[in-house]
Amino acid sequence: MVDKIRPGGPESNESNPDSLDERIIEGCNNPDNGMAPPDEPGEINEAPARPNYMVLGFGVVAVVIALVVSIVLFSGQGAAETPAPSTLSQAATEGKVLFQANNCATCHLADGRAGGTGPRLSTTGKNDQTMTNIIRRGRGSMPPNPRLAEEEVKKIITYIREIKPPAETKT
């Protein structure tokens, strides 16, 4: 059974300044805690609602992800696919097989004629030596391919050159 609190006793609000009521009122009068003093004796006003920063953080992350995905999907290099050539030379045909066998088409979509994770290769302006170096050493997120023989690299480059769209004729 709980004993009643006697006025002036050790647990009384009158003699104990650290009583719960005194601490509530003291806390409410502190302008740094964001609480207002109670309107009625014994009433406790709640602190104003604070924004949920975790939800806000997830929202910001979602917007950033959506922005990155839209840039990748709708950037100039991935927007259009160049038409496939009607014929390929023997070296280019072998280069296409090597291109596919070495997973190049995973990032260079449509067999190099559209951009994906990697750029569209059919419109590259890089020279043969630069392409050889990129194939051998890699660049950015592209892994190196040092195991390809020199002749295989040349066939892949021949394929890339032959998928280039024909120059438009002016009339």
pTM listed for this prediction: 0.52
Furthest-apart CA atoms within the chain: distance in Å? 107
Q: What does each C-alpha distance from 115 to 77, 80, 122, 141, 145 come to in angstroms?
A: 5, 8, 9, 14, 20
Q: Domains plus CATH for the chain?
A: 1-50 (no CATH), 81-162 (1.10.760.10)
* 131/34: higher pLDDT: 131
Most confident stretch, 2-6, 13-17, 57-61, 86-90:
86-90
* 32/93: higher pLDDT: 93
- Other CB atoms within 10 Å distance of the CB of residue 29: 11
| pLDDT for position 113 | 85
Which tens digit of pLDDT belongs to each residue from 46-80? 666 666 777 777 778 888 888 776 665 555 444 47
DSSP-assigned beta bridge partners for residue 139? 142
* 66/120: higher pLDDT: 120
